[in-house]
Structure 1
Amino acid sequence: MKNLLFLIILCTITLQSLAQQKDAKTDSLLVEYYQTQRYAEAADYLKKIYPEPVENPKIISQLAYTSNMAGRLPDAEGYYQRLYSVDSNNVATLINIASINSRRGNNPKAIKYYKRILKIDSTNFSVYRQLATLSKTTGDITANLLYLQKANALNPESGDVAYDLSSALILFGQNAQAEKILDRALSADTANILLLDGKAQVCYTLKKYPETISICQKLIDMDAKTSQIVSYKGVSEFNLKKYADCLITFHALDSSQTQSETSHYYMGMSYKALKLDTKAIYYLQLAIDDAISPNTNSYYSEIADCYDRLHLPRKALTAYQRGLTFGELPMVYYSMAAIYDTNLKDTAQAVKYYKKYLTAKKDADKQKNYIDFTEKRIVDLKR
């Protein structure tokens, strides 16, 4: 009897030892998978050693985590849903379900679970931040503003939230409040480029030109120069009648930040204010060129062609003439000549525009038939 009892105790000890060895081996292998970020292998390994049905929440949690990290989002959501059915108030589970749905593009479902978290923990900064982002994605700018305000109230020193909130407030015309939000965050991080960028925008909007110039110069000195920052600075200098400074600022744009209609306009106006009219004309003409699409003449040609097909030759000619003010197209001259020739029987005007067509720069090979016809038609009309 004693021998039997001893044998049972020995077997029990041995089994316990084997189980411990298995757990140690399992833990060691999983740690290796995690350290080398081989999450798919970790997930497959866990499924192998813990076949379904799995009811232990800790094991399900491990399966959920590894599946999530492996990018197997449907599997991960399935595991987290099993955990949710056991405890619907577990914040970690809710956060993971919401995050997975957001990654899968199911924003309404993600929002639903994030809101569920707020019912449990109304002071969760990260959740308000996520809801703000999702609301912006879905186009709900009112909700976006509300959640950003909640997040900012919990952590007013968060640069990302302060910047996003100030941008949202500017959209709603609340510029002064946007400035207060930025100032509070900047007091904690005076060199935050994102916040300084936002401050430059709000100061420019509020027409605080000296402060705008100062902030923009600080950003430029920090190698954070953008075309927008240069524009804020240059326009502010112009409005303060610092025309020479305005010109220096806009001339400093490098090749990767090409000049625009705005820069050319203010450069032209600055030269004009300095009574350098030749340069003023040059830059103002560049501003006009920037403002006009290079395809405008083609658009007018298409409109003219439509009028021609509607048998409205006068309107067609007007549209062709407008198009020519934006750039020369040889076929426009030909089309106008044809209208004068065929529809209006105006020989003089027809010859005039046929000749313009012949002297215009064009691909002679591709338009040979038109050229041959035009040359013959001029001869016929002059008889």
Structure 2
Amino acid sequence: QLIKLIMKKFIYLFLLSVSFQYNADAQPASTDKNKVMDFFQNQQFEEAVNYLTPAATIDSQNIQLLGYLGYAHYMDDNTKMAADYFRKIIAINPDNISALQYLAILTKNDKPDQALQYTRRLIYLQPDKAAHLRSMGELFKRKDKQDSAFVYYNQAYILQPKDFKNGVGLADILIDNKKFIRADSIIESVLEQDSVNIPFLKLRVRSAYIAGDYQNVRIPGERLIRLQETSLSALTQVVVAYFNLKLYTDCIRVCEYLIAQGYAVENIFYFEAKALARIKQFDKSNELLKTCINLSISKEAEMYYYNLGINYEALRQYKKAIAQYDTANYLFKNPIMNFNSGRIYEINLKNMQQAQKYYTKYLALAKPVEADEKKAYQYLKERWGKKKPVAHKK
């Protein structure tokens, strides 16, 4: 990651030094290019903005100054200001490649239609640039326009088949379209040269899994595990493939690997529970199924059940209110729900036996913190804590 960051910085600096040139003499004497580069190299982007802004205000048509400011804001995570400066460049020179590239990047998530327009312009200006075609393919894929995405990914791959990003993009869209033969040929051609290429191993797993060819999930899946890869999507497909192949111990092993890597998610526990049941380890299976139940229910659900109980109390539908509190207590083990049920049985339903049952549970588990609850707890302890169970009335 550090190497990538360093390379990214130097690539940006290179682009800045060559791409925003409009007129070498246009830079005002009040700005020192070397000083600007020092700011960038030291990642002092806010200082660069403060230094450049006055000059750009005076010379608002200077593309190099606008480019510096756009870059400084971009690296300072002020994407709105960055886009504003790059748009100013486009207004002066609609064919400025670097400004178009930045705008395509800055708009691809929030304004994909604008990103399409900028990328189209880039393709018009540089029709043989595979990166632009690949970017257009990505944009169409995000818009779920599979046919258009395929056209551009395919063109990018034809132009530069050895660029693995083009191969990844094309193979991915081919798998989406269930064109497994060509997708696999692209994937295998790379894996023959580089058997530990993680992006293509993931694609091989996905292709075989979607095609229902579970046997061919095994080899790339095991390679990913040996490489300590932790892609939840790919390895979940390996888990399901092993289960469908009735290789239950392998299924359990991959589940345990994912859990050890921090992926303690419902789906993984579920398949491990199913595999354990198939080898008759029912107690372990049940424990994992209980974990699945806990994971599948949002913590916020406790508040929803609690408020349902309050509403039913207001409507004097006391049994329904108690049912909501009981559900909340069963799922989330909050003793205050037992207090609420006991209160209803005592005050509203006049059923002292049931009230004592709930109060006893509350007193055994409650650890009150708030002053009001401490007061109620002490009251219940004095009144109910030493009482003998109420005899059932015949």
TM-score past 0.5 threshold: yes
Alignment match, 1:273: 278
1:249 to 248, 254, 261: 254
- Please state if 1:284 is matched with 2:267: no
- 2:374 is aligned, of 354, 368, 371, to 368
Alpha-carbon deviation of 1:238? 1.9
Alignment correspondent of 2:268: 263
Cα distance in structure 2, aligned partners of 1:53 and 1:230: 53
C-alpha offsets along residues 45-65 of structure 1, whole Å, 9 cap, x if unaligned? xx89xx9799xxxxx776676
User: How do 1:306-317 residues align onto structure 2 when only pairs under 5 Å count?
Assistant: 306-317=311-322
* 1:70-85 superposed matches below 5 A: 77-79=87-89, 81-84=91-94
Amino acid at match of 1:370: A
- Give the structure 2 partner of residue 140 of structure 1: 143
Query: What SS does the aligned partner of 1:326 have?
Result: helix
- Kept in 2, the 8 Å contact 1:213–1:232? The answer is no
One-letter identity of the residue aligned with 1:251: E
Give the partner amino acid of 2:244. Answer: N
Shift of 1:216: 0.7
Question: 2: distance between equivalents of 1:107 and 1:249?
Answer: 38
Distance 1:327 1:73, change over 3 A: closer
Aligned to 2:135: 130
Amino acid at match of 1:96: S
CA contact 1:80–1:97 (8 Å) conserved in 2: yes
Deviations 1:209-255 (A, max 9, x none): 11111111122223334344443323322211112222333333464
Using the TM superposition, give the Cα deviation of residue 203 of structure 1 relative to its aligned residue in structure 2, in angstroms: 1.7
- Structure 1, 183-192 or 357-366: larger mean CA deviation: 183-192
1:240 to 232, 236, 245: 245
Residues 215, 342 of structure 1: alpha-carbon distance in 2 compared, 3 angstrom cutoff: same
Q: Where does residue 354 of structure 1 map in the other structure?
A: 359
> Within 5 A, what are the aligned runs for 1:105-184?
105=107, 108-119=113-124, 122-134=127-139, 140-142=143-145, 144=149, 147-152=152-157, 154-168=159-173, 179=184, 182-183=187-188
Moved more, 210-219 or 118-127: 118-127
- CA contact 1:297–1:328 (8 Å) conserved in 2: no
Aligned length: 337
* Cα distance change, pair 293–36 in 1 and its aligned pair in 2 (3 A): closer
Q: Structure 1 residues 373 and 254 mapped into 2: Cα distance closer, same or farther (>3 Å)?
A: closer
2:98 alignment partner in structure 1: 96
* Cα distance change, pair 33–303 in 1 and its aligned pair in 2 (3 A): same
* Pairing 1:319-358 to 2, within 5 Å after superposition: 319-358=324-363
Question: Residues 275, 128 of structure 1: CA spacing in aligned structure 2 closer, same or farther, 3 A cutoff?
Answer: same
Matching residue's letter, 1:140: K
Does structure 1 retain, via aligned residues, the 8 Å contact 2:171–2:186? yes
Report if aligned partners of 1:80, 1:96 keep a CA contact under 8 Å in 2.
no
TM value normalised by structure 1: 0.69
Q: Secondary structure at the match of 2:207?
A: helix
- Residues 254-283 of structure 1, C-alpha deviation per residue, up to 9 Å, x if partnerless? 643243323322333323222233333333
- Matched residue of 2:264: which SS? coil
Change over 3 Å in CA distance of 1:335–1:174 after alignment to 2: farther
2: CA distance, partners of 1:330 / 1:69? 57
Counterparts of 1:135 and 1:253, CA distance in 2: 33
Q: Distance in 2 between matches of 1:53 and 1:372?
A: 74
Counterpart of 1:202?
A: 207
Question: Take 1:353 and 1:281, find their aligned partners in 2: how far apart are those partners?
Answer: 28
2:217 to 178, 203, 212: 212
Rounded Cα–Cα distance in structure 1 between residues aligned with 2:382 and 2:312? 27
- Asked if structure 2 preserves the Cα contact closer than 8 Å seen for 1:156 and 1:185, the reply is no
Q: CA, structure 1 residues 79+332, in 2 after alignment: closer, same or farther (shift >3 Å)? A: closer
1:121 offset after TM fit, Å?
5.8
AA aligned opposite 2:344:
I
Q: Residues 189 and 61 from structure 1, CA distance in 2 versus in 1: closer, same or farther, beyond 3 angstroms?
A: farther
Change (3 A) 1:166 1:320: farther
Which has the larger Rg? Answer: 1
In the alignment, what sits opposite 2:6? none
1:26 is matched with none
Aligned amino acid, residue 82 of structure 1: I
Give yes or no for contact 2:239–2:251 (8 Å, CA) kept in 1: yes
1:81 touches 1:97 (CA, 8 Å); kept in 2? Answer: no
SS in 1 for 2:366: coil
Contact 1:95 1:113 in 2 (8 A): no
Are residues 236 and 344 of structure 1, via their aligned partners in 2, closer, same or farther at CA, if it must alter by over 3 Å? same
Q: What TM-score results when the alignment is normalised by the length of structure 2?
A: 0.67
Q: Tell me the residue number matched to 2:16.
A: none
